[in-house]
Amino acid sequence: MGSVLGVSGESTLTEEEAAALRDEVVAELALVVGDRWVTAEPAILDGYAWQYLAEAATGERWMARPLAVVLPGCTEDVAEIVRHCNHKGIQFKAVSTGFGAWGAAAQPDSMVQIDLRRMDRILEIDAKNMYAVVEPYVTGNQLQTEAFSVGLNTHIAGVGGQTSVLASATSMMGQGWDGVSMSFSCRNLLGAEWVTPEGEIVRIGSFESAGRWFAGDGPGPSIRGVFRGFAGALGGLGVFTKAAVKLYPWEGPEALEVGGASPYYETEIPEHHLSALCIVDDWKGMAELGYRLGDAGIALAVSRNAPSVMGAVLTADNNEFADIYEVPFVHELYYTLVVIIQADDAEEFAYKVDVLKTILRELDGGMIANLPAHEYTYWLGRFIRTLSRRVKAKGLLKSAPGTLGLFRTFGKRYGYRKLTSSMSALLYEAVVRSGLNMRGVFRFGGTFWTAMGSLASWDNAIKGARVGAQIKKRYIDEGKFFDDGADNAWGGLYENGAYSHLEELACYDPTDDDSGANVIGYIFETNLASAEHFLSLPLNACGPQASTFFSPLCGGYQNWQLAIKNTYDPNNASEGSSYVIPDYKPGRGLRKLAGNVMSDRAEIDLTQDDL
């Protein structure tokens, strides 16, 4: 397929030149950080080239090897490394916990990989004013664990609790299960320390003036706007070495009670917390449920998960998943939202749960939740009744043997006494700790990618999910993607429903030689449909390729992005293959692929209520 990142994928240096440059760079950077913290050992470099989604970025399983890897210990080290790269005319790109091709080199021997893992401290938690200051290698779960201990919580991006808080807040997306109460990553940024592409250290927000990180905007215009839009610059506009992020109230214990053994953890749902899988009849019901939950402002988390991904999250391996997914009613659980509620005391909890019940009654829906036994049964009955309108009595009957099998499996594992609460507890753990996300998407085929997912109104997001599923179905029918039922839209509400997102996950086998082309085709086709159906900018509207397509449809924003890149990075030192490439021209491979997609596209029929 060839590179789609807009660079050749070939080194511009001979082997001898590359070796000489590598030696030179290692020796010079060692003067900055010490011998121990810089290397060009091939095996180490390959560790940075082995990246998730490389097959889509390069057509191969690997990204390019960087020239060298350097591990700075502090901001001043980073600034010196960046200035050195500018001076040498080579590029750099930083990575913290790392997750994907965009953190790696697109072209061999062209850049220094700055690995920020030594900068791993939580510098401050201001419990009174509800913010934390973190270095790049602090993960969501680390920060959350410390925040819980002072009655606070943190937004964790959908990529999972194992990834960097700073990276998501400053540089990369930020959707998450908890957006309804804890917003979107970049909206939580209260300031940052930014090493610009030229190596200047800029402290954004109140910190430089006031010595505290309570505000991220000003004086005057917000510099956050320069480096962080919907997507972030994905490493293409300097390096972030500190970030202050908002924390949010946590009405739970200082630490969650977790039992069991890996991978069968059991999390105790705390008092005054509800974990509910809520069901309605169809997308119209989903739209109403989302809007009403947003208006009510009662939820800690609201998350839509399709049956396949939910099955994967609840199970530990694919055999177990198959047992669940073969039960007929399970793969009809399309119109569900996971709703987590927390409350300060019993009275507030009862009020919030009663609001949820009222909404579900209005929509003729049901729920499976950690409610007292008699209520559990009542709401389970409503859940089954709602589901039966879809699968009919015949479907329920066919599901009976499989359901009994599931009861046996889960009963043995979690104890029959806990059978009714085990699913709620698993969903609670998945959503609150964001700890099971990746087993929901990597396991089926070995990897996944995603599409659609604009930040828009809930109605628009639902429309996007329906369009995405219809496109993906053809890829499934042609054997390109794993059959997850086509509708595998994940997402939810943000800021009590102020905006929303639903992205269409696609699972596939990255060892398949055509997988890269398939997923790029999927990205292109869903991007095209997003434009045609006015679904705002999808999450794949990132990087030079997508910007070339979308910019003319959106006021020519790529011209302004280019101006920002050229203005703040005049030497093009900050590797921007997933952000902005100053002289980018779409490659022949990409043009051919686009032609193929254009000539043979899925038909979108939005008059269907569902698939």
Partner 1 sequence: MNTDLLERIPGVGEHRFDAEGVAVVAPAGVDELATFVRWARAERIPLWPRSSTSLRRSVRPDGPGLVVDMSGLKEIIRVDRRNRVTLVQAGVTFEELAPALEREGLRAVMPLCPRRGKSVLATHIEREATIMPAFQWDLSDPLLCLELVYGSGDQFRTGSAAGPGNLDQQWASGEMQKGPMGPGHADWMRIVQGAQGTIGIATWASVKAEVLPRIETVHVGASDTLTPLVECAYRLLRKNAVDICFIVDANAFVDLVGTTEGSRAEAARRTQPWNLVMSVSGLDYLPERRHAVYSRMLRDEARAAGVRLVDPPLGSGETLLALLRRSSEEPYWKERRRGASRQVFFQTTLEAAGAFCASFAVHAAGAGIDTDRIGTYIQPQLGGRVAHVELIVACEPGTDEVAETGRFADAVAVPLTAEGAFFSRPYGAWAEPAFEAAASSVDILERAKTIFDPARILAPGRLGLKGNPDGYAF
Report the site for partner 1 in 425-484 (rule: CB under 8 A). Answer: 454-460, 462-463
**75 part of the interface to partner 1, by CB under 8 A:** no
* Cβ at position 219, least distance to partner 1 in Å: 4
Of 27-35, 301-309, 536-544, 590-598, the window that binds partner 1 (rule: CB under 8 A) is: 536-544
| Position among 563, 595, 598, 609 found at the interface with partner 1 (CB under 8 A) | 563
Characterize the bridge pairing of strands 189-195 and 239-246.
antiparallel
Pick between residue 203 and residue 413 the one whose CB is nearest to partner 1.
203
Cα 562 from chain centroid (whole Å):
26
209, 318, 377, 511: which one binds partner 1 (CB under 8 A): 209
601 binds partner 1 per the rule CB under 8 A: no
For the record, the structure tokens of 393 come out as 């009595």
Shortest CB 100 distance to partner 1, Å: 16
Tell me whether strands 201-204 and 248-249 are parallel, antiparallel or unpaired: unpaired
C-beta of 355: minimal distance to partner 1 in Å?
Answer: 4
Q: Which H, E and C letters describe 128-170, residue by residue?
A: CCCEEEECCCCEHHHHHHHHHCCCEECCCCCCCCCCEHHHHHH
Residue 251 beta carbon to partner 1: minimum distance, rounded to whole angstroms: 8
**C-alpha dihedral sign at 227, 229, 235, 239:** positive
Burial bucket for residue 374 (CB in 10 Å: 0-12, 13-18, 19+): exposed
- Of 137-145, 502-510, 558-566, 589-597: span binding partner 1 (CB under 8 A): 558-566
Verify binding: residue 122, partner 1, rule CB under 8 A: no
Residue 30 is a binding residue for partner 1 (CB under 8 A)? no
560 contributes a contact to partner 1 by CB under 8 A = yes
Choose the stretch contacting partner 1; rule: CB under 8 A; options: 36-44, 46-54, 79-87, 223-231: 223-231
Cα separation, 407 vs 367, in Å, equals: 18
Closer Cβ to partner 1, 315 or 500, answer by number: 500
Using CB under 8 A, which of 60, 217, 323, 364 touches partner 1?
A: 217
Cα distance between residue 63 and residue 415, in whole Å: 46
Question: Interface with partner 1 includes 607 (CB under 8 A)?
Answer: no
**Whole-angstrom Cα distance, residue 323 to residue 51?**
31
Minimum CB separation from partner 1 for residue 344, in Å? 6
Distance of closest approach, residue 10 Cβ to partner 1, in angstroms: 26
Interface pick for partner 1 out of 34, 42, 218, 263 (rule CB under 8 A) = 218
Question: Does 222 interact with partner 1 (rule: CB under 8 A)?
Answer: yes
Q: Site for partner 1 (CB under 8 A): which residue of 14, 129, 377, 511?
A: 129
Q: Quick check: 196 binds partner 1 (CB under 8 A)?
A: yes
Facing residues of 336 across strands?
279
CB within 8 Å of 154: residues ≥ 6 apart: 132, 140, 143, 144, 147, 165, 182, 245, 247, 248
CA distance 350 to 67: 59
In terms of DSSP H, where are the helices of 434-556?
458-477, 515-532, 543-550
Pairing state of beta strands 201-204 and 189-195?
Answer: antiparallel
If one asks whether residue 240 binds partner 1 (CB under 8 A), the answer comes out as no
Q: Say how far residue 418 (Cα) sits from the centre of its chain.
A: 31
Q: Is 387 in the site for partner 1 (CB under 8 A)?
A: no
When asked if residue 605 is in the footprint of partner 1 (CB under 8 A), the reply is: no
Contacts with partner 1 in 138-177 (CB under 8 A)? none
Distance in Å, CB of 587 to partner 1, minimum: 20
One DSSP character per residue, 538-595 reads -TT--HHHHHHHHGGGTTTHHHHHHHHHHHH-TT--B--TTS--TT----HHHHHHHH
Q: Does residue number 204 form part of the binding site for partner 1 (CB under 8 A)? A: yes
Pick the piece of the chain touching partner 1 (CB under 8 A) from 133-141, 158-166, 342-350, 396-404. Answer: 342-350
Q: Which residue, 237 or 280, has its beta carbon nearer to partner 1? A: 237
Per the listing, tokens 């997609």 go with 597
Of residues 260, 297, 401, 479, which one binds partner 1 by CB under 8 A?
297
Between 327 and 531, CB nearer to partner 1: 531
Q: Is 265 in the site for partner 1 (CB under 8 A)?
A: no
Instruction: Name the one range near partner 1 by CB under 8 A: 44-52, 353-361, 381-389, 414-422.
Output: 353-361
Judged by CB under 8 A, does residue 272 bind partner 1? no
The nearer residue to partner 1, 463 or 480, going by C-beta atoms, is 463
Shortest spacing between CB 446 and partner 1, in angstroms: 29
Phi-psi region of 464 (alpha: psi -120 to 50; beta: other; left: phi over 0): alpha
**CA distances to 178, 247, 594 from 128, in Å:** 22, 10, 53
Q: Which of 499, 508, 524, 584 binds partner 1 (CB under 8 A)?
A: 499
When asked if residue 579 is in the footprint of partner 1 (CB under 8 A), the reply is yes
Three-state secondary structure readout of 232-298: CCCCCCCEEEEEEEECEECCCCCCCCEEEECCEEEECCCCCEEEEEEECCCHHHHHHHHHHHHHHCC
Of 85, 94, 169, 190, the one binding partner 1 by CB under 8 A = 190
Q: Is 415 in the site for partner 1 (CB under 8 A)?
A: no
Integer Cα distance of 139 and 130 in angstroms: 18
Among 76, 257, 347, 609, binds partner 1 (CB under 8 A): 347
Exposure class string for 83-111: b at 16+ Cβ within 10 A, else e? bbbbebebbbbbbbbbbbbbbbbbbbbbb
Q: Total residues at the site for partner 1 (CB under 8 A)?
A: 100
Please report whether residue 582 would count as binding partner 1 according to CB under 8 A: no
* DSSP secondary structure string for all residues of 334-402: -SEEEEEEE-SSHHHHHHHHHHHHHHHHHTT-EEEES--HHHHHHHHHHHHHHHHHHHHHHHHHHHHHH
Q: Which of 199, 307, 453, 497 binds partner 1 (CB under 8 A)?
A: 497
Please enumerate in sequence order all residues whose Cβ is within 8 A of that of 98, keeping only pairs 6 or more positions apart, or say none.
51
Q: What tokens were used for 102?
A: 């965009």
* Min dist. Cβ of residue 520 to partner 1 (A): 20
Question: With contact defined as beta carbons under 8 Å apart, do 501 and 461 qualify?
Answer: yes
Residue number with CB closer to partner 1 (50 or 534) = 534
Q: Is 490 in the site for partner 1 (CB under 8 A)?
A: no
Strands 122-126 and 111-115, sheet pairing: unpaired
**Closer Cβ to partner 1, 45 or 130, answer by number:** 130
Which residues 506-535 are close enough to bind partner 1 by CB under 8 A?
Answer: 530-535
* Shortest Å distance, C-beta 563 to partner 1: 5
Q: Mutual orientation of helices 346-362 and 373-414 as an angle, nearest 10°?
A: 100
